Chains A and B, each alone.
Chain A
């Protein structure tokens, strides 16, 4: 991993209008994405990982969402301060995004070819004919069987795995430098997931593209990501290389999560280790460290003072008053 940052996120803070006032979904988080690396944003539902991914391209619906602070720097330019027109040019060209459910992102009344063609004509100024030829090429590249027939089909005629491949083709059509993939395989079966992840990895290497992979699945983090940022209640609690995170997790939440995931083991356990309690409601977040109420190491300090992210010996970060060694 070369150390140059492609994208720098600083102090990003996102809030939502709730019934009982503003809820803070993302709380002053900062991270870099290095060129060609895969960074995981990992956590349970409600931790803010999806909102973070959407905010990078200002895709959070506003209102009810509000990006209240922060910078997202690409080539020294703050994407959060760009006029809408400039941002629209940049979406797809420099940074592209794919989602969990491709059916919601694809338009049901246009054929696959028409939708791919629109993107190619708009962003790359291709002619109708050239766009179709390129679309065909892209479908082939992402492993759609019989692309010449599929190109004139509609989204509902494809299986879930094929729809996700079409989304990937569309996202990669303009050769972006960064792909933001939000739970791209969560809706797929495990054997299809393996196919699609392998495909994304291959394309990423070929196109020398960086990726932010938003996921709840630590198995996918372990197998597909270089680094990971573990999120809890809107904050990054630990950010390390994948190898370091899994071998010596420092934050008690990371430790708990790694122990709690049901995994295929040599021996069946009598009882799965669990994290007691549950994720607090965003409307009633405790002061101090949000994890304190569930944490075996918590002290009074944790219940009062928010732990700042501190560098670890291996170049990562951990936000905890009493981290594991």
Chain B
């Protein structure tokens, strides 16, 4: 089998919690607690979960924007976590990130043209004239007119700023883009425009996306495969169509049933989960979901279920549950 574009193996990111006047470490916040998956070139993995599940931290740890506590991240077979700063800088040409609020990542005093050109300047790609030409090309790719390059970020709407963020991420022709809630701050009539742009880039340029969102409908629209996270771990993974049609994990089922559907004629059975997501500082023993799970039994309180393929089930799907099955 050929090498996947991205291979994440046992990735952990823990944040020490300090207390007392000596600021001693009193505990660990396990934001990402042992995540493994593979992403092939040109494919999109949707990473979905509620706030605090660790999905954004996972995205940042993969790019080493935050140092992982343990585990490996292989990009095109090379271990990102073991790279020297110089090697990491070079590797970053191959992987870029776009954020929920591009406004926060754009310098307000630099024009949009300068912002898009910056990665080319940093990596010394082409002559200055070639870089300017490339900026025009990138603006065109994301559907912005050439004249906007002289404007400043505050003069743009949210949707346009997100296009600028995407143009900037595309400048280095990366193989992988981590997109962290890229449409969550946008109105629905604009969301579609940005999602279609992402889909087109993937089709035409073969860029792989790790697409992080809390929105199950958005995730379904862009993803080939989906990973559902709960308290720092993947609880279910599989091809998007199958995972949405026949979710096996009770958390995935509850999550899907909780999404309000814009269709008053269709009445569904809603699974309302009791309680709330526990703190990642004091994750429950056994299966972290057991206190809220309608299927929990004694085994679930004692032993943590590993992510595995089900015997007789789809070989490309995995679920971390002692009692998986349709709801």
Pairwise interchain contact A261-B262, C-beta atoms closer than 8 A:
yes
Whether A269 contacts B221 by the Cβ 8 Å rule is yes
Nearest CB on B from A228, distance (A): 10
A276 to chain B, nearest CB (A): 8
Residue of B nearest to A221 (CB): B262
Q: Which chain A residue lies CB-closest to B48?
A: A190
For B189, give its contact among A192, A197, A217, A278 (CB under 8 Å).
A278
Residues of A172-207 whose CB lies within 8 A of B: 189-195, 197-198
Cβ of B270 within 8 Å of any chain A Cβ, yes or no, is yes
- Asked whether, in the complex, the Cβ of A246 is within 8 Å of the Cβ of B192, the reply is no
Let me know if A243 and B264 touch, CB within 8 A. Answer: yes
Check A264–B256 contact: CB distance below 8 A.
yes
Out of B191, B258, B263, B276, name the residue touching A159 (CB < 8 Å): B276
Give Cα A256 to B191, complex, Å: 13
Q: Do residues A279 and B221 form an inter-chain contact, with CB atoms below 8 A?
A: no
Shortest beta-carbon distance from B48 to chain A in Å: 10
B261 neighbours in A (Cβ, 8 Å): 219, 222-223, 263-264
Q: Which residues of A contact B254 (CB under 8 A)?
A: 191
By a CB distance below 8 angstroms, the chain A residues around B191 are 260, 262, 272
A69 to B194, CA, bound (A): 39
The residue in chain B whose Cβ has the minimal distance to the Cβ of A193 is: B258
Q: Which residues of A contact B157 (CB under 8 A)?
A: 278
> In the assembled complex, which residues on chain A have CB atoms less than 8 Å from the CB atom of B241?
268
How many chain A residues touch B (Cβ–Cβ < 8 Å)? Answer: 47
Give the residues in chain A near B262, CB-CB below 8 Å. Answer: 218-219, 221-222, 246, 258, 261, 263
A278–B201 Cα distance when bound, in Å, is 22
Question: What residue of chain B has the Cβ atom nearest to residue A262's Cβ?
Answer: B217
Instruction: Tell me the complex Cα distance, A89–B279, Å.
Output: 41
Tell me whether A190 and B196 are in contact (CB under 8 A). Answer: no
Contact A190 B214 (CB under 8 A): yes
- Cross-chain contact A216 with B187 (CB below 8 angstroms): yes
Nearest to A263 among chain B residues (CB) is B217
B172 within 8 A of A: no
Is B91's CB within 8 Å of the partner chain A? no
Q: Which of B237-267 contact A (CB under 8 A)?
A: 240-241, 244, 254-265
Complex CA gap A278/B191 in Å reads 11
Cα-based distance from A263 to B259 in the complex (angstroms): 9
Query: Chain B residues with Cβ under 8 A from A221's Cβ?
Result: 262
List B contacts of A273 (CB < 8 A): 192
Contact B263 A191 (CB under 8 A): no
User: Is there contact, CB below 8 Å, between B258 and A190?
Assistant: yes
Q: Nearest Cβ in chain A — how far from B225, in angstroms?
A: 12
> Given A189-B214, A223-B260, A194–B221 Cβ distance below 8 Å?
no
Binary flags per residue of A66-80, CB closer than 8 Å to B gives 1, else 0: 000000000000000
Distance A136 CA – B71 CA, assembled complex (angstroms): 48
- Residues of A near B214 (CB, < 8 A) are 189-190
A265, B256: Cα distance in complex, Å: 12
As a 0/1 sequence over residues 210 to 232 of chain B, the CB contacts with chain A under 8 angstroms (1 = contact) are 00001111101100000000000
Q: Is A314 interfacial (CB-CB < 8 Å)?
A: no
Kindly report which residue of chain A lies nearest to residue B240, judged by CB atoms: A268
Given contacts A190-B214, A242-B264, contact A272 B195 (CB under 8 A): yes
A202-251, CB < 8 A from B: 216-224, 242-243, 246-247
For the complex, is A157 an interface residue (Cβ under 8 Å from B)? no
- Which A-chain residue is minimally distant from B276 (CB atoms)? A159
B220 surroundings in chain A (CB, below 8 A): 262, 264-265, 268
Tell me, rounded to whole Å, the shortest Cβ–Cβ distance linking A42 to chain B: 11
**Which residue of A195, A271, A279 is within 8 Å of B196 (Cβ)?**
A271
B159 contacts the other chain (CB 8 A):
yes
**Interface code B268-279, partner A: CB below 8 Å = 1, 0 otherwise?**
001011011100
Known contacts: A189-B51, A257-B188, A275-B189. The answer to whether A264 contacts B260 by CB under 8 A is no
Chain B residues contacting A264 (CB-CB under 8 Å) are 216-217, 220, 244, 256, 259, 261
- B232 → chain A closest CB, angstroms: 16
Q: How far is the CB of A1 from chain B (nearest CB, A)?
A: 15
Mask of A147-173 contacts with B, CB within 8 angstroms, 1/0: 000000000000101100000000000
Contact of A191 among B188, B192, B273 (CB under 8 A): B273
B293 at the interface (CB under 8 A from A): no
Q: Which residues of A contact B193 (CB under 8 A)?
A: 274
Is B50 an interface residue, CB under 8 A from the partner?
yes
What separation, in Å, do the CA atoms of A261 and B272 have in the docked complex?
A: 24
Judge whether B190 is part of the interface by a CB distance below 8 angstroms: yes
The 8 A-B residue pairs with the shortest CB-CB distance in the complex, in nearest-first order: A219-B260, A189-B50, A272-B192, A274-B192, A44-B187, A194-B258, A262-B217, A275-B189
Chain A residues packing against B (C-beta within 8 Å): 44-45, 145, 159, 161-162, 189-195, 197-198, 216-224, 242-243, 246-247, 256-258, 260-265, 268-275, 278-279
Can you offer 24 A-B residue contacts whose CB atoms are under 8 A? A44-B189, A189-B214, A189-B277, A191-B254, A192-B50, A195-B272, A219-B262, A222-B264, A246-B264, A247-B265, A257-B188, A260-B189, A260-B192, A262-B188, A262-B195, A263-B263, A264-B220, A264-B259, A268-B220, A268-B241, A271-B199, A272-B196, A274-B189, A275-B189
A223-B264, A243-B265, A260-B192 given. 16 additional CB < 8 A pairs?
A145-B275, A159-B276, A189-B50, A191-B50, A191-B272, A222-B260, A224-B260, A246-B265, A262-B217, A271-B199, A272-B192, A272-B195, A272-B196, A272-B221, A274-B192, A279-B189
